[in-house]
Structure 1
C-alpha cells in the first residue's frame, strides 16, 4: 500500500458492528492503514451527521478531510484506487457472482444476525452492555436504563419491528443453520471461499460472521459445535494479509457455491422483489412469504431497491459470452426470474447515487 495523504483513515463505528467489522477485515487484508474510533453518541454522531448527512455506522474519514459512507462502495473505491493488491477477482464471471454473494451476505444475513443478537436475553445483555460502555457513555442515564433503552430500540426496529415475531423465529434461525452447513462444506476443502487466498466474497461474509455470528453468545456456540471449520475461517480471515498469500483462486464458479445460490434465488431475491413492490406502492410496512417464512409488517428499504439495480448493472456490464454463462447458472439456481421480475425499479436518486462520498439515507441510524 503506497504512502498517501489519505492515510491513515479513521473508521468511526463500533468494535461489535457488522459493517465496521467488514471494513476492518478488508483494510487488514489489503494493508490499508486505519484507526478505529468509537462513534459516540451524541458527540461523534452529530459531527458525522454534519459531514455525511447521517450518523449511520461506519463512517470513514480520510486524512485529507474527505468522508465516505457505505461499506460496499467504499471497498469498490479502494479496489479501483489501489489495484496492486486486490480482493476482486479479475475473471468477469467470478467478479459478478462474488458481488452477488457479497450483496446477499450484507442485506439478507443481516436478518438472522440481528435476530440472534437482540432476540435472546444473553445476546441482548452482551450487546447492550458493550454498546453502553463503548458508544453511549455520554447519555445522561444510569447504565441499566441505557441497556434497556438500546435493547428495546433494536428489537422495535430490527427484530420484532422488522417482521420477526415468534412465528418467524424458527425460519430465520434456519437461514443461519443452513449457511453454517454450506460454508462448513466449503472450508473443509479450502481456506477461503474462492480458493487459497481471500477475495471479495470472503469480505462480504465477514460482516455477519466476524462481529455477529462469531461473537454473540448464542450463534457463536452454535458455530463452534456445528461448523468448526467456519469458526477457524473467521479467525484466519482476520489474520491474513494479501501480500503474504502465495496461493491462487479457483477457476470458474465452484460447484459448492450452489447451495448459497439456491438461497439467493429462493429467499433473498424474492425478498428484494417484495421490497420493490412495497416501495413502489409507498408502503413502509409490508407482508411477504419468503422461503416458507411469513414475514409480517417488515420495513421497506429504498436502499435495497438500489442494491437490486446494482446487481442488474453488474450483469449488464458483462460481455455477451459471460452474460450467457451467468444466465445459465442464475437460471439453474432460480435467480434469473426474480432478478428481472420488475421491469422498472422505483429508484430514489437521493438515496445512493453519489456513494461513497455522498451519504445515503437508506435507513434510520442503527447500532448493530
Structure 2
C-alpha cells in the first residue's frame, strides 16, 4: 500500500502536529518540506491554501489536521482515549490548542522585531532553499509585512497582547507540571491528540527567539518534553483511568482554562456571527480581548456541543465540575 504523503513546513505548527501524530501512530508516511515548486503541484488538490496537505494512500487529499487525524483512529495506535470523559477532555484541549493557544504563536512571531526577522527568513528559506540569501530575504520582507497586516484580524494587537501572553504562560505552566510526571503525557503513558496539538504550537515557538527564551527560563522541562513528543513512535504506554487522568494537575488546570477562557471566546465569536457582526469583544484572563469573527471557530463550538450532548449525564457532571461555569456554554 502507498504511504501517506505529508507536505508541510518546519515553521508550521499544524504540519509538525500531523508529522508527530503519524510517527506516534506508526503509520507509513513520507514528509516533504514544501517548497514553492511543490506548492504549485500540491495546493490545487485542496480547497483552502493552508498546510499541511496530506495525500492519502487512496489518492485523495485533505488539509484539516483535526478531522484527518480523527479519521485515522482505526489505523495504528489510537490518539484519543476510548473512555467518554477522557475522550471529551482530549478533544476540548486539542481544540483549545489549535484555535486559542495558537494566537500566542502568531502574536510572538509577528510582534517583536527580532522574532519577525528570524521567522520570516526561516519560513522563506524553507520554501526557497536554493534561491540564495538576497532572494530569500526579499521574499521574507514581503511575507513579514503581509503577516503583520493580518494581526488585528486574528486578535493580535497591542491591546490584546497582555491577554494573549498571560494566557499562553498560564497554559505553559500547567504543561510544565505534565512534563515532570508522573504520567508522561496528558492522559497517561501514551501521547494523545491534545498533547500533539500543544506540541505543534510549542515546537515552532521553541525556535522563535522571544518565546524560546521564556520557555527555557520559566518552563525548562516543558521545553525538553517537546523532543519526547516529537517522535513518540517508540514510547509504549497506555491511558490512565478516568479519575486518575482527570485528577492530574495539568489536565485539571487546562480544563479550568478552557472553561473560563476558551469556551467564552468561542461563544462570543458564535454570537457575533449570529448577530451579523464582524468583530466581537469580551474580557478574558483579566483583560479586554477583541478580534474579527471566524466561521470555522463557530463550527468548532458546534462540534464540541455535539460531543457534549452525546455524553451521559453523570459524565457531563464530572467534567463540568472541572470546567467550571463555562461548561454551561456547551449546553
* Both structures adopt the same fold (TM-score exceeding 0.5): yes
Aligned in 2, Cα 1:138/1:56: closer, same or farther, shift over 3 Å?
farther
Aligned in 2, Cα 1:237/1:74: closer, same or farther, shift over 3 Å?
same
What residue is the counterpart of 1:19 in the other structure? 14
Q: How does 1:105-120 map to 2 (within 5 A)?
A: 105-120=97-112
Report which of the two has the higher share of helix: 2
What residue is the counterpart of 2:330 in the other structure? 339
Q: Secondary structure of 2:32's match?
A: strand
Which is further off, 106-115 or 257-266?
Answer: 257-266
TM-score normalised by the chain length of structure 1: 0.82
TM-score normalised by the chain length of structure 2: 0.90
Query: May I ask how many residue pairs the two structures share in their alignment?
Result: 326
What residue is the counterpart of 1:274 in the other structure? 268
Matched, 1:128 2:127: no
Determine which of 186, 191, 203 is the counterpart of 1:198: 191
What residue is the counterpart of 1:260 in the other structure? 254
Equivalent-residue separation in structure 1 for 2:177 and 2:190 (angstroms): 17
How far off is 1:265 after superposition?
1.4
What residue is the counterpart of 1:68 in the other structure? 62
Q: Which has the higher contact order (CA 8 A, sep 6+)?
A: 1
What residue is the counterpart of 1:149 in the other structure? 142
Aligned in 2, Cα 1:247/1:329: closer, same or farther, shift over 3 Å?
closer
CA contact (8 A) 2:166 2:285 kept: no
Where structure 1 has 5 or more consecutive residues not aligned to the other structure, the ranges are: 341-368
How far off is 1:156 after superposition?
1.5
Determine which of 299, 303, 309 is the counterpart of 2:302: 309
Equivalent-residue separation in structure 2 for 1:85 and 1:162 (angstroms): 34
How far does the alpha carbon of each residue in 1:252-285 deviate from its partner, in whole angstroms, 9 at most, with x for none? 3124122212211111111111111222233333
Where structure 2 has 5 or more consecutive residues not aligned to the other structure, the ranges are: none
Equivalent-residue separation in structure 2 for 1:46 and 1:123 (angstroms): 28
Q: How does 1:188-267 map to 2 (within 5 A)?
A: 188-190=180-182, 191-211=184-204, 213-241=205-233, 244-246=235-237, 248-252=239-243, 253-256=246-249, 257-267=251-261
Q: Secondary structure of 2:44's match?
A: helix
How far off is 1:37 after superposition?
1.9
Equivalent-residue separation in structure 1 for 2:123 and 2:232 (angstroms): 28
Determine which of 171, 174, 178 is the counterpart of 1:182: 174
How far off is 1:300 after superposition?
1.3
What residue is the counterpart of 1:35 in the other structure? 30
Q: Secondary structure of 2:315's match?
A: helix
How far off is 1:136 after superposition?
5.1
Equivalent-residue separation in structure 2 for 1:324 and 1:288 (angstroms): 27
How far does the alpha carbon of each residue in 1:22-58 deviate from its partner, in whole angstroms, 9 at most, with x for none? 00110111111222223344x4444444322121111
Equivalent-residue separation in structure 2 for 1:260 and 1:326 (angstroms): 12
Matched, 1:284 2:278: yes
Matched, 1:168 2:160: yes
Equivalent-residue separation in structure 1 for 2:197 and 2:137 (angstroms): 34
CA contact (8 A) 1:194 1:254 kept: no
CA contact (8 A) 2:14 2:52 kept: yes
CA contact (8 A) 1:40 1:134 kept: yes
Q: How does 1:79-94 map to 2 (within 5 A)?
A: 79-80=73-74, 82=75, 85-94=77-86
RMSD: 2.3
CA contact (8 A) 2:281 2:288 kept: yes
CA contact (8 A) 1:197 1:249 kept: no
